[in-house]
Structure 1
């Protein structure tokens, strides 16, 4: 009987070590799957809008792989020897909850990838040289706003802190040489508008940009030069003034640049020799938005994997070979 008890404990430890090793592998899968293309250099000058779609698809694929591996781990846990049933169910419950979260993130990422794919081979910073800017596709911008909201909602439920950032001051469209002209002039933007747009985007708070996208309206029709226009309206509104249109805040302007740069149809206006500056503004804006979405998703994934890790650490031994059932909390080194 003592020998049987010893063997059952060894069997339990073997199972626990395998579970721990399996979990550690999963913990690394998501980062390894998407690590190469994330962060502030997700896109670069000269990239097509479809590259943004590839970015979203790669994160979605990484989550899909993680989800599949978690399901495999759940099956492996079910086969654990001499483990207390209630502690096993706790792990399986944590895996199921995490997979529900990942499923929602995957759905949003798939939708976002579709919007960028539809924008296709158009350059991220596509501009009419010495010509009018063009409104972005309203359906595409609406879809991005809806998907960003869905990702933020999932993250909040996982207790990820979402900052509203510092939105900055209004950016007026007082002349065709001001930054808003490069975004939304109805004729060729004036000299220095491109570099000024790049400067506004460069100083924009990424968290505030995401916050402005989240809360954006997308009012179609002619843009009003002096209204406090939000990001969505600046992106989809029809250029109707040589100076473009006022942005309610710096973050609204930068977020509008990102929205226009990621969706089909949208074009900027570039003065002579300022095409490069406009492209730089667009690329920086897109990278700021993607960088924050990356951070939000990573934090959401990490929190949910940590819940599974804690549940794995709580797996208990159950000695069913003796009349007096004994349970003791034990954890494998691999999950620490």
Structure 2
């Protein structure tokens, strides 16, 4: 089989580098071009010495990536992907947007939460949003894929079975998530400065995080009704990983046993989503560097609440790994190709 030529725009950001790292082990893909505004002309191994002797390609400009590749991953801040996506789309190339530009279906939501507008409405109508386990049937043959947010992936995989079955009262849903500092990207900020985040633990963007409308969009599609959530993220003093703990009231026809059966059925046959045994609690340590999501279920008999814990690596299943999973689906490759990574024990 002819190797697929893949390129990464924004390859020196954390998510961009993670795409490069994973693609270098993909059996069907050759990393043909990488770009960076900040380091154009330098070898990527000068920025990330772990690539020395493994991948030392020079960083070019965005246009060169589009021209030379079959698949382009755009690892860019919001507001920068539309023109690149249009160029890829018109050339018949697959573009996977790692940013937020194509995630929200309503322009009004994008205006409210990101302060921008949709300049190319036709392109937005053609975009396919995909958490693979929830949107797999939509992805094959797609030319423009919106890769979900990391918090969104953790939350929505954790809640999909009960939302789909109408097993909970969504008005009671509270989402408490914690992420490692790589989720903030490579840019410098005071709250991710080592003396500020080390041996610290704090919520941020309380009830105002930009992933909120995306969570509500996906959960609303699953439940068939408008969903409004309370979402509070926290910054963990670790490099990578997300733990989302969700609290909700079960409806009368459901108990722990029936809910567990829902999850077992919903995720039966899924390679990357694992329901943990009764009594176990999901732990980010057990999914680091992998494309797996672990889910554990708990009930509070006194209050009638279901507690769902969902954990994943924000840089892999929450970003680069999921993007490659989407690429595999879109191109008809083995879905797990390049993603058979066993999490380390420590």
The verdict on a shared fold, with TM-score over 0.5 as the criterion, is no
Task: Tell me which structure has the larger Cα radius of gyration.
Answer: 1
Larger relative contact order (C-alpha < 8 A, sep ≥ 6)? 1
Q: TM-score, normalised by structure 1?
A: 0.28
TM-score (norm 2): 0.27
The structure with the largest helix share of the pair is 1
